[in-house]
Structure 1
Amino acid sequence: MILLKDILYKVTLEKVVGNTSVAITNIEFDSRKVELNDVFVAIKGTLSDGHDFIKMASEKGAIAIVCEILPEMIINGITYVQVKDSQQALAFMAANFYENPSENLKLVGVTGTNGKTTISTLLYQLFKKAGFETGLLSTVKIKVGDTTYPATHTTPDSLTINKYLREMVDAGVEYCFMEVSSHGIHQKRTKALHFEGGIFTNLSHDHLDYHKDFKEYRDVKKSFFDALPKSAFALTNVDDKNGPVMLQNTVAKKYTYALKSMADYKAQILENQFTGLLLKINTHELWVKLIGNFNAYNLLAIYGASDLLGLETMEALQLISTLESVDGRFQYAVSSKNITAIVDYAHTPDALKNVLETINSIRTGNEELITVVGCGGNRDAEKRPKMGNIAATLSTKVIFTSDNPRNEDPELIIDAIEKGVSPAHYKKTLSITDRKQAIKTACQMANEGDIVLIAGKGHETYQEIKGERFDFDDFKIVNQMLTDLHK
């Protein structure tokens, strides 16, 4: 039996009306899911305010209400707990409800604009290969040992996080690697978690539809490191100008990685090919299956984290050399006509620039680089012309198309992307609103030896249009098109 007062441990209380010694069944922040004897936590969201649904939760049998503003009508038999911050309260309540599972495993958070999924997923693979029971909380999937669950958010809500962490602890998991998004930090979803370490990848233009400006976006990321305990490590990319900022106020043990700067973990790219990279990490040379400068940074972060978590150096390097690319992250295939198709999640200006520069550093210059790219609807609109400029500047030919238009007009999104194209590059661009047709056209344009990049959606297996999700897998579609068109 769980009592309300037990799950309120560490929650800052403003006022309590009623009895906190009542037994509770579950915690919910969605009034539609409330059942008899549940606690309903009223949260002010971006689209709706949970305080508007307190009456509904009460009618559905909630035995307690946690809220920032007490309702005018107090119902006898229901306990009302007023708190300063409902999101933070939910984080502590969720951790307490599931018996603080993060304290019983080594949880490492990965944050930054690009690279979170690759680093967290490959760390999961690495420690799994090293023989440890391992867990993963990522954009693509959630893994508890060998069991896989679908992921719905980069950083799930506090209840979902603690539910899976509890499952991991019960399954004997020792290490868990977790993507930590700026949304998740800002909404206090990670507040009550105990981290063994934090990794910073890089920071570039993204999510400014949510955050007021770049400074707020950066400072939210920084607050994750500010909150790390003394026992944790903070590992940051010092080649990124925001890397040192992350370490300014942390009490965690500070470590750095870099390709260009002096750092604790330093790498040099000796060879860069479509088949992989030859790297020198500190004093050791190794061949890896991943491609490009951005993956050199990712692998360096992985090596640093594995060292800080106690993995033996030679074992870590040997296992890193066996790691495979993550779905939708520079995932490529070569057709029978020697046309290379690359699918990548690059949906920010910096990520797109990294992928295109990587391809250009490998290609001989005799082949065409045909890029298919769009931007998501109802998201940061400022990046659209920047994406257009980067794609047109660094590709031989570009097709602008739909990404996930959501509730926006896809043609207006494409117009915004095109505004970034300089007159010198107009002739190499084309706009095709239908994404499947755009991919087909790119494949039709490609000749032997050419490269087709499909950017923006990566691992996603759907396209979101006007509130509906339709089956759509870039990698499957481009491979089918190349097979059909170049038999």
Structure 2
Amino acid sequence: MATKLNDILKQVAVLEVKGQTSITIEGIIFDSRKAAEGMLFVAVKGTQADGHAYIADVVKRGVKAVVCETLPEQLESEVTYIKVADTTEALGRLADAFYEFPSKELKLVGITGTNGKTTTATLLFNAVRSMGYKAGLLSTVANYIEDRVLDATHTTPDAVELNKLLREMVDEGCSYCFMEVSSHAIVQRRIAGLKFAGAVFSNITHDHLDYHKTFDEYIKAKKLFFDDLDASAFALTNTDDRNGKVMVQNTKASVHSYSLKSASDFKCKIIENDFDGMQLKIDGLEVWTRFIGEFNAYNLLAVYSTGILLGFAKEEMLTVLSAMTPVSGRFEYVRSKQKITAIVDYAHTPDALLNVVSTINKIRKPEQKFITVVGAGGNRDKTKRPVMARIAVENSDMVILTSDNPRNERAEDILDDMKAGIPEGSAAKVLVIVDRKEAIKTACAISRANDIILVAGKGHETYQEINGVKHHFDDKEVLREVFESI
């Protein structure tokens, strides 16, 4: 693709221009390592580096246009410099314009919240496709353009990649796109300029305080997504979450609500819940689903409600829900010949872990022993580590603390943080096994017929990140191997 610089500059508030804006741009970059002739470089102030420090370098490598907040002291005569107040905001709007506003050509729905984003977005993607429509998905697990899978490196891609993917979706005939919208992406303005048909709020609990510093800042980050919606969009919020109404206080979008326990536009009640599935009553009609647990009832209700707001019929949505299967790594089963049930779940926050262990305890029989294998990620919010350990110990018969993705931390240090959360008098029911594979094998070895094992934290992931290197590791794969050998 190529376009005139002055055409895309119409989308941003330009403070000052040095040079010609009639030049042709063949791409937009914010990573100086991708510098090449024909590129527009946007100097973004990131968490690790400031793009302004690399302006001279990209110019030497052939870049002929630069967007920045502060003009360099030395200006090159053949280079165009554009000064703006916020390069992060400008990057999103310029990328949107460069790819010819793809979000305006399909129905884009964003899902935000601490838990449930992946499940809700993926089920919506599957739902519309099952009804014969072409769709795209942008999620933590993977990005999809119909059946084509593209690896996901972030929950929400950067602004340039995001608009590029949306343009590919439009070009391939997609009518819908469902995307997870992370708090990082909202604050970093990766979604600036996008036109959303709707936004969904699932819940907000303790997470990402390594980035946002305070819970209040985390709430404000999520709320900004709804503040930016226009009047043509819908805002769907979970009123059972105490911050559900806060999210939509200032939005211009039409507000709708869903809940299991409070007054709302869309209601759901759990009629029956066991390890085979749930019988739900949604908007007065009963439907059997293959999903388990109250947290999944919320996810399914969010999917149903979004479908109705997008114009699908009530009966059509309920039929689709009844045929759906769980998302990879979200309360997934692996069963042994001895009838040991292992559940693999992505739960990596205190609230998500509590949801899963509570669900298991509501369903299991008194004679079924319940073992939880859990760790915590490195280079992330440390305050949740002891909380997760406490939740696991208080709600399980046995707990094995192990490594998750230690990243650039020592796994032993992370486990020491977790051990601080073990309630007094409960040490006898806790094992600490650093090696995750050994931890899973031990859980299987001490289990008997009909017992239940929860392996939490990594879910769909097929790697373990240690010292910055990703090694192949799949919880489900390990469980199957162990079960086949016993």
TM over 0.5: yes
Query: What is the SS of the residue equivalent to 2:212?
Result: coil
Give how far 1:424 is off.
2.8
Q: Quick one: distance in 2 between partners of 1:419 and 1:483?
A: 36
1:418 paired residue number: 419
Structure 1: gaps (5+ residues)? none
- How much is the aligned-residue C-alpha RMSD, in angstroms? 0.8
In structure 1, give the amino acid aligned to 2:456: A
1:28 paired residue number: 29
In structure 2, give the amino acid aligned to 1:254: V
Q: Quick one: distance in 1 between partners of 2:188 and 2:37?
A: 27
Q: Quick one: distance in 2 between partners of 1:478 and 1:68?
A: 52
In structure 2, give the amino acid aligned to 1:35: A
Q: Quick one: distance in 1 between partners of 2:459 and 2:172?
A: 31
Q: Per-residue displacement from partner, 1:164-189 (whole Å, max 9, x unpaired)?
A: 10011111100110000000000000
Query: What is the SS of the residue equivalent to 1:480?
Result: helix
Give how far 1:219 is off.
0.7
Runs of 4+ in 1 over 3 A off after TM superposition: none
Query: What is the SS of the residue equivalent to 1:210?
Result: helix
- Verify: 1:326 aligned to 2:327, yes or no: yes
- Verify: 1:448 aligned to 2:430, yes or no: no
Give how far 1:30 is off.
0.7
1:377 paired residue number: 378
Q: Quick one: distance in 1 between partners of 2:438 and 2:71?
A: 54
Give how far 1:49 is off.
1.1
Query: What is the SS of the residue equivalent to 1:220?
Result: helix
Q: Quick one: distance in 2 between partners of 1:59 and 1:324?
A: 53
Give how far 1:59 is off.
1.0
Q: Per-residue displacement from partner, 1:255-291 (whole Å, max 9, x unpaired)?
A: 1000000111111101111111000001100100111
Query: What is the SS of the residue equivalent to 2:343?
Result: strand
Q: Per-residue displacement from partner, 1:167-213 (whole Å, max 9, x unpaired)?
A: 11111100110000000000000111000000000000000000020
Query: What is the SS of the residue equivalent to 1:321?
Result: helix
Are the equivalent residues in 2 in contact too, given 1:352–1:387 (CA < 8 A)? Answer: yes
Query: What is the SS of the residue equivalent to 2:169?
Result: helix
Structure 2: gaps (5+ residues)? none
Q: Per-residue displacement from partner, 1:371-409 (whole Å, max 9, x unpaired)?
A: 110000000001011001100000110000100001111
Q: Quick one: distance in 2 between partners of 1:20 and 1:236?
A: 43
Are the equivalent residues in 2 in contact too, given 1:142–1:151 (CA < 8 A)? Answer: yes
1:250 paired residue number: 251
In structure 1, give the amino acid aligned to 2:129: K
Q: Quick one: distance in 2 between partners of 1:361 and 1:131?
A: 37
Query: What is the SS of the residue equivalent to 2:426?
Result: helix
Count of residues paired in the alignment: 485
2:50 paired residue number: 49
Are the equivalent residues in 1 in contact too, given 2:370–2:397 (CA < 8 A)? Answer: yes
Give how far 1:143 is off.
0.9
Q: Quick one: distance in 1 between partners of 2:218 and 2:470?
A: 29
Q: Quick one: distance in 2 between partners of 1:284 and 1:159?
A: 43
- Verify: 1:304 aligned to 2:286, yes or no: no
In structure 2, give the amino acid aligned to 1:94: A
Q: Quick one: distance in 1 between partners of 2:27 and 2:249?
A: 39
Alignment of 1:149-164 (within 5 A): 149-164=150-165
2:131 paired residue number: 130
- Verify: 1:240 aligned to 2:241, yes or no: yes
Q: Quick one: distance in 2 between partners of 1:225 and 1:200?
A: 9
Alignment of 1:242-321 (within 5 A): 242-321=243-322
1:61 paired residue number: 62
Q: Quick one: distance in 1 between partners of 2:26 and 2:269?
A: 55
1:147 paired residue number: 148
Give how far 1:461 is off.
0.5
Q: Per-residue displacement from partner, 1:419-461 (whole Å, max 9, x unpaired)?
A: 0111132111010111111111111111111111110011111
Are the equivalent residues in 2 in contact too, given 1:9–1:92 (CA < 8 A)? Answer: no
Alignment of 1:79-478 (within 5 A): 79-478=80-479
Give how far 1:88 is off.
0.4
Are the equivalent residues in 2 in contact too, given 1:389–1:422 (CA < 8 A)? Answer: yes
Q: Quick one: distance in 1 between partners of 2:10 and 2:348?
A: 41
Query: What is the SS of the residue equivalent to 1:8?
Result: helix
Query: What is the SS of the residue equivalent to 1:423?
Result: coil
Query: What is the SS of the residue equivalent to 2:55?
Result: helix
Q: Quick one: distance in 2 between partners of 1:73 and 1:405?
A: 44
Q: Quick one: distance in 2 between partners of 1:198 and 1:9?
A: 27
Q: Quick one: distance in 1 between partners of 2:270 and 2:151?
A: 35
Give how far 1:481 is off.
1.1
Give how far 1:146 is off.
1.8
Are the equivalent residues in 1 in contact too, given 2:260–2:267 (CA < 8 A)? Answer: yes
Query: What is the SS of the residue equivalent to 2:415?
Result: helix
In structure 1, give the amino acid aligned to 2:176: Y
Are the equivalent residues in 1 in contact too, given 2:334–2:479 (CA < 8 A)? Answer: no
Give how far 1:12 is off.
1.4
In structure 1, give the amino acid aligned to 2:172: A
- Percent identity of equivalent pairs: 53
In structure 1, give the amino acid aligned to 2:166: L
Are the equivalent residues in 2 in contact too, given 1:3–1:23 (CA < 8 A)? Answer: yes
In structure 2, give the amino acid aligned to 1:251: K
Query: What is the SS of the residue equivalent to 1:209?
Result: helix
Q: Quick one: distance in 1 between partners of 2:8 and 2:62?
A: 19
Q: Quick one: distance in 2 between partners of 1:227 and 1:263?
A: 23
Give how far 1:334 is off.
1.4
Q: Per-residue displacement from partner, 1:302-333 (whole Å, max 9, x unpaired)?
A: 00000000111111101111111000000112
Q: Per-residue displacement from partner, 1:225-244 (whole Å, max 9, x unpaired)?
A: 11111111100000000101
Q: Quick one: distance in 1 between partners of 2:295 and 2:177?
A: 23
In structure 2, give the amino acid aligned to 1:38: M
- State which drifts further: 43-52 or 342-351: 43-52
Give how far 1:251 is off.
1.1
Query: What is the SS of the residue equivalent to 1:366?
Result: coil
Q: Quick one: distance in 1 between partners of 2:241 and 2:314?
A: 25
Give how far 1:69 is off.
1.4
- Verify: 1:77 aligned to 2:78, yes or no: yes
Query: What is the SS of the residue equivalent to 2:334?
Result: strand
Are the equivalent residues in 1 in contact too, given 2:113–2:202 (CA < 8 A)? Answer: yes
Query: What is the SS of the residue equivalent to 1:216?
Result: helix
Query: What is the SS of the residue equivalent to 2:240?
Result: coil
In structure 1, give the amino acid aligned to 2:214: D
Give how far 1:10 is off.
2.0
Are the equivalent residues in 2 in contact too, given 1:341–1:479 (CA < 8 A)? Answer: no
TM superposition score normalised by structure 1? 0.99
Q: Quick one: distance in 2 between partners of 1:22 and 1:55?
A: 19
In structure 2, give the amino acid aligned to 1:349: P
TM superposition score normalised by structure 2? 0.99
- State which drifts further: 275-284 or 416-425: 416-425
